[in-house]
């Protein structure tokens, strides 16, 4: 039976599918060295984000046919190196849309409604501080979405139709018509969105283009009453610049699910600020999302192991499959 290595907590529904047809080993959150030692006899694996899958690491996996990323991001997988080695890379780009969009909206509401301050005040016996929490309404406010793909589009619809927000977006890869279909007005520049929005929410992948796309200069463009929400990737934001902007009052607050270094240090200032709601990279960890991801990637793994083509939208490098079919 083929050997499957799981290095990231995966819902039992997916694990059960694999166990019925493969030998499954679990090595959660391994170091790079531990992973190198475990890879030589592995035919397929489910991977998290803690280790970079580059050519050097993949060279330790001579039998590896399929690498499945548990989630939507591919920033820790060298697709070129995997493709050169004939390794099919799978992911679950649609499985996380609902969960991450809802989490982003939840963070918006939590910071705007001062949930953290209110919770602490009540626990400290300061019930009568309820009028001093600094809550604001989102109705009628302007939401700026950076990256209007699957998740950004869903956030736009939720906030436009459900909260009565005006939505603008910056995404150079969509048209005005595509933006309008999800209730958003497309702006030509990032600066326009930052200057106009009352809430800025980030929904971009991590690439060379987007790394630190929100830094000191960009934060200075935002309104002092604005909030920044990041459920994308930590390095999209210059964390030191964000901390400085929050401490100096250049922006009013933030909701962060991702950090430049994960897990963040326990003394990271973002974790103790009253105007920050922070969650542990958990936007895609709802029960339903975990089930969708596990089933999507487990079915894809079994398809590859049975020499069958996985669903097209779950293949990050379909050229590997095309080459394999041609070879047959």
Q: CA-to-CA distance for 156 and 154, rounded, in angstroms?
A: 5
The whole-angstrom separation of Cα 155 and Cα 34 is 39
Euclidean distance between CA atoms 107 and 135, whole angstroms: 14
Rounded Cα distance between 34 and 16, Å, is: 25
**Rounded CA separation 254/227 (Å):** 5
Residue 155 exposure: Cα atoms within 13 Å on the Cβ side: 37
Nearest to 221 by CA among 235, 236, 247, 200: 200
Measured at the CA of 82, the angle between CA 77 and CA 87, to 5 degrees, comes to 120
CA 216 – CA 57 distance, rounded (Å)? 35
Structure tokens at 192: 């326009």
Active site residues: 233, 262, 281
Q: Is the bond preceding residue 263 a cis peptide, omega within 30 degrees?
A: yes
Distance CA 197, CA 326 (A): 51
């Amino acid at each position: 039976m083929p050997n499957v290595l799981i290095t990231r907590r995966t819902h039992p529904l997916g694990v059960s599918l694999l166990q019925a047809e493969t030998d499954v080993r679990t090595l959660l959150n391994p170091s790079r060295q531990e992973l190198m030692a475990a890879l030589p006899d592995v035919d397929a694996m489910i991977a998290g984000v803690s280790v970079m899958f580059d050519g050097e690491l993949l060279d330790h996996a001579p039998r590896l046919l399929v690498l499945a990323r548990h989630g939507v991001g591919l920033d820790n997988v060298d697709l070129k190196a995997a493709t050169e080695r004939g390794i099919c890379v799978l992911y679950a780009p649609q499985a996380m849309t609902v969960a991450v969009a809802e989490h982003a909206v939840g963070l918006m509401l939590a910071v705007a409604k001062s949930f953290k301050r209110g919770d602490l005040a009540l626990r400290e016996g300061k019930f009568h501080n309820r009028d001093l929490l600094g809550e604001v309404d989102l109705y009628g406010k302007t939401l700026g979405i950076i990256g209007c793909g699957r998740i950004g589009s869903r956030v736009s619809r939720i906030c436009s139709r459900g909260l009565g927000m005006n939505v603008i977006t910056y995404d150079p890869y969509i048209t005005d018509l595509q933006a309008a279909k999800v209730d958003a007005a497309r702006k030509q520049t990032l600066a326009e969105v930052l200057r106009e929005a009352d809430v800025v929410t980030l929904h971009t992948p991590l690439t060379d283009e987007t790394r630190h796309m929100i830094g000191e200069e960009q934060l200075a463009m935002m309104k002092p009453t604005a909030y920044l929400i990041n459920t994308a990737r930590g390095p999209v934001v210059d964390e030191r610049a964000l901390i400085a902007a929050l401490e100096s009052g250049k922006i009013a607050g933030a909701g962060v699910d991702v950090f430049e270094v994960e897990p963040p240090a326990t003394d990271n200032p973002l974790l103790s600020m009253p105007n920050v709601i922070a969650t542990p990279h958990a936007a895609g960890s709802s029960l339903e999302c975990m089930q969708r991801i596990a089933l999507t990637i487990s079915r894809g793994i079994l398809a590859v192991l049975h020499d069958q083509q996985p669903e097209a939208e779950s293949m990050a490098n379909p050229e590997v499959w095309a080459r394999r079919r041609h070879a047959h």
